[in-house]
Chain A
Amino acid sequence: MSVTQVRTGDAPAAVIDSMGVMGRSLEQPRNLQRTFQLVLATVWLLDAVLQLQPFMFTRGPNGFSGMLNNLAAGNPGWVAHSITWNASNVYHNPVLTNSIFALVQFLIAFGIVWKRSLKPALALSIVWSLSVWWFGEGASNIFHGGATPFGGGPGAVLIYGLLAVLLWPSAGSDLPFVAARTVGVTAAKVIWAVVWSLLAVLAVVGSGRSPQALHDLVAAYTGQPGWLAHIDRATASMFLHHGTTAAILLAAVCVVVAIGVYLPSPFTKATLVLGIVTFVFIWVATENFGGILAGGATDPNSGPLVIILALLYWPLTLARKAVTGRPSSSTAGSKEALVR
């Protein structure tokens, strides 16, 4: 049975539509690395558009420069100085600087789309991420113990850079998981373990385990829609009474997820689900979707990025679904479909 014959049936074998999503073909497995690259590009496009919000172009405490200045507080002098220097530049040239910031993010987003510019765009995203982490976010308060994962620590922007590394284009298979395609299985697992171990540490150091600090983190949100404000009140109350317990619990979860990739596949999947569910909760209840729903956000915060990261580690297997419709007798090199 030829491919054409398959596709003249009632159901199309492959569907590529306005979303550009290609339906799973029985002939070729989907290039998941490419799909995740495009998901990353989508997040960058969202960031670029968020950068165009009116307040970003204005001076003063309610403008972008004011937002940057606020991030300097509490940091060591040498960190704070770099932030205030950046804020000063933004203050004096808000339109020019913010236009450049937005343009860079548009370039990254659309650069990832075209394969010819993919590598430069990913490289730019790494440089940009590190720059923003330092000059824009003050290293996400990591130097004074305020980088709890409940608030997005150690910085969502760092995960953009990490995703760029893991999604660096590489020939080969998405097996055994997408993150391993470029850096290899061992390195990918080490990266995973380090990231989640860091999250575990940040959950319990400094103000990360302080009930009052965690309460204030959530209580500070304003302008959220009613349903989210309701969740905020419940979360803030929970933190105030059980903040330390929540921090320790989060650290324990992060440790379990960290070692999960070294366990057999079913356990790996279970720990990945645990990590994803945890960060869905964090994204909604403590990060408030990055503040996007209240306006004035610059990015969706770490929640969705950690979830994307987790999906890159989802164990993949070969399903014996040959294009001919009959069971395949071989594994490697046969026309098989990747299933997740």
Chain B
Amino acid sequence: MTPTPAWLYYLFAVAMLTVALYGLMLLAVSVAIRRSAGWDVDIAHLFMGVSMAGMFVTGWAFGPSTIWELIFTLLLVWFLVQSIQSVIAFGIHLTHYLIHAAMSFAMLLMYVFPAGARSGAMSMSMASSSSARIDPGLGSLLAVVFFASAIFTLASPVKGASHHGRHSRAYAMSGSASGAAEVESGPAPASAAGGAVGLIAAPWLEDASHVVMCVGMGFMLILMI
């Protein structure tokens, strides 16, 4: 049962589905223009958006918990590997893959430890095998990290970095990886494609989807601790 006020949870669920749909559209764009960067984030947002909508609204959840756990475990491993590779390639820095790894980890936690769900705030119908709850300290920490990511992403002068990172930005739309010098030159990704494709792949929109996901996931974690 969705708690009061129901509209709030429907609002978040719709926002999550919107992010998922947007991720799907970005994936289509990536295929259409042979873009090599950011597709992993698109896939992650697609799965996260769909599954979180099911957490916010009873009845919108589907699929066995095990499948979701497997998906988010794979995403977690993928983003961790990407983080390591990014550090190896560019030296010590705060790679954007880390926040996506943290988000995948949070999703995994929410499926593995659904018992902390208070007040019937979310359906969590996909998981009932565990009576354990997310450690409140870890849940709170992740929530704060996501809120910080949302705020600093919005304020960042480099748009689209939440999606493609700083280093892969240059080939975000062009589909060709090149050296750091090209990264430095910072070509605007969206300008490489016009019309609807350019709008869908607009860096500010990619950042917006990340911000919405961060706020939604942080809220869910707060509800679960």
Instruction: Using CB atoms and an 8 Å cutoff, list the residues of chain A in contact with chain B.
Output: 3-4, 7-12, 14-23, 34, 38-39, 41-42, 45-46, 49-50, 52-55, 57-58, 95, 99, 109-110, 112-114, 224-225, 227-228, 289, 292-295
Contact = CB atoms under 8 A, between A and B. Distances in A.
A9 B223 CA distance: 45
B158 A16 contact: yes
Interface string B75-111: 0000000000000001111111011100000000000
A294 B135 CA distance: 11
B150 interface: yes
B49 interface: no
Given A7-B184, A45-B151, A292-B140, A58 B4 contact: yes
B222 A53 contact: yes
A293 B136 contact: yes
A15 B166 contact: yes
Given A8-B184, A19-B99, 19 more contacts: A3-B184, A7-B184, A11-B93, A12-B180, A14-B166, A19-B94, A20-B153, A38-B155, A46-B147, A46-B218, A53-B223, A54-B3, A55-B119, A57-B5, A99-B8, A109-B151, A114-B154, A225-B137, A293-B137
Interface residues of B, number: 53
B149 interface: yes
Contacts of A52: 8, 219, 222
Most buried by A among B92, B143, B156, B225: B156
A238 to B, nearest CB: 22
Contacts of B210: 18
A264 B96 CA distance: 40
A295 B152 contact: no
Given A38-B152, A113-B151, A292-B140, A4 B94 contact: no
Given A289-B140, A294-B136, A16 B225 contact: no
A18 B184 contact: no
Contacts of A3: 184
10 contacts: A7-B184, A8-B181, A9-B180, A16-B156, A18-B94, A18-B100, A52-B8, A224-B136, A225-B136, A292-B140
Most buried by B among A34, A53, A95: A53
A169 B137 CA distance: 33
Given A46-B143, A54-B3, A18 B149 contact: yes
B34 interface: no
B147 A18 contact: no
Contacts of A289: 137, 140
Contacts of B149: 18-20
Given A17-B93, A19-B99, A46-B143, A293 B225 contact: yes
B157 interface: yes
Most buried by B among A16, A22, A225, A227: A16
B140 A293 contact: yes
A276 B71 CA distance: 41
Nearest to B7: A95
A111 to B, nearest CB: 11
